[in-house]
Amino acid sequence: MLKVAGLKAGYGRTQVLFGIDLDVRAGEIVTIIGANGAGKTSTLRSISGLTQIYSGEIEFKGRPIKGLPPEEITRLGLAHCPEGRQILQRLTVEENLLAGYIPGRGRSFDEIRTQVYDMFPILKERRHSLASRMSGGQQQMLAIGRSLMATPELLMLDEPSLGLAPKIINQIFEIIITLSKSGISLIVVEQNAAVALEIADYAYVIDAGRCSVEGGANNVLNDPDLKAAYLGA
């Protein structure tokens, strides 16, 4: 579904990715883990067309997407739920959902909104509230709901559990599993490596802009070196 090969990217003259290779097959949950500043967000932003790419190839559904504008990439079915949620605080819940709607993907705003409200009853209940009045967990749900308004086939979630209480983190991971079961392929970037590895099929560890380790999530979860480095064991 998504293939990234030899991706080098950065910010002007500051290169931060030095050759990222990754592969997401349809229906999989792939997790990307790694230390602060390793390049996880930059990898997702490169895939979405938001970062300057120096070289490498990115293919989505067999089609090269490198260099396409971000909205075009979203329209092809690849959505990005950004780090820090990036909710429009002064708009209502429903206005935020409208902001994520991409026409031309075969489904009306009303149709997808109903589906998002079925999945997140709290968003329906609070649909006319200002986003700024929502808790961190509710804002994360709104961020995911907004991404779903684009009818993604592949959804990239950057740190969905960041700053949330353990109980809410569990809810967010349950939602990720539900999305996966509904047929959406997922990339989940997480600091919370242990939880991410629990739900993922495949994992990549990024270290200083390179993929240092990859493998089945279970193998990575049980790798003694990685345990010491990322899982606090």
Ligand X SMILES: Nc1ncnc2c1ncn2[C@@H]1O[C@H](COP(=O)(O)OP(=O)(O)OP(=O)(O)O)[C@@H](O)[C@H]1O
Q: Does 16 bind ligand X (CB under 6 A)?
A: yes
Distance CA 184, CA 168 (A): 22
- The SS3 call for residue 101 is coil
Count of CB atoms situated within 10 Å of the CB of 222: 12
CA 192, 74, 77, 142 torsion-angle sign: positive
Stretch that binds ligand X, among 10-18, 69-77, 84-92, 99-107 (CB under 6 A): 10-18
Q: In the window 109-168, what residues touch ligand X (CB under 6 A)?
A: none
Residues 44 and 187 sit within 8 Å (Cβ to Cβ): yes
Part in contact with ligand X (CB under 6 A); list of ranges 11-19, 20-28, 193-201, 210-218: 11-19
42 near ligand X (CB under 6 A): yes
Q: Which positions from 75 to 94 touch Mg ion by CB under 5 A, shown as an x/- string? A: --------x-----------
Range in contact with ligand X (rule: CB under 6 A) among 18-26, 40-48, 121-129, 163-171: 40-48
| Type and span of the H or E element at 136 | helix 136-148
- Euclidean distance between CA atoms 126 and 145, whole angstroms: 13
The amino acid occupying position 100 is: G
CA–CA distance, 31 with 11 (Å, rounded to integer): 24
Residue 19 within binding range of ligand X, rule CB under 6 A: no
Whole-angstrom distance, CA of residue 155 vs CA of residue 26: 11
Count of residues that bind Mg ion according to CB under 5 A: 3
Residue 37 site contact among Mg ion, ligand X, none (CB < 5 to 8 Å, cut-off depends on kind): ligand X
Residues 58-87 that bind ligand X (CB under 6 A): 83
| Binding status of residue 41 toward Mg ion by CB under 5 A | yes
Question: Could you list the residues that contact ligand X (CB under 6 A)?
Answer: 11, 14, 16, 34, 36-42, 83
Question: Could you list the residues that contact Mg ion (CB under 5 A)?
Answer: 40-41, 83
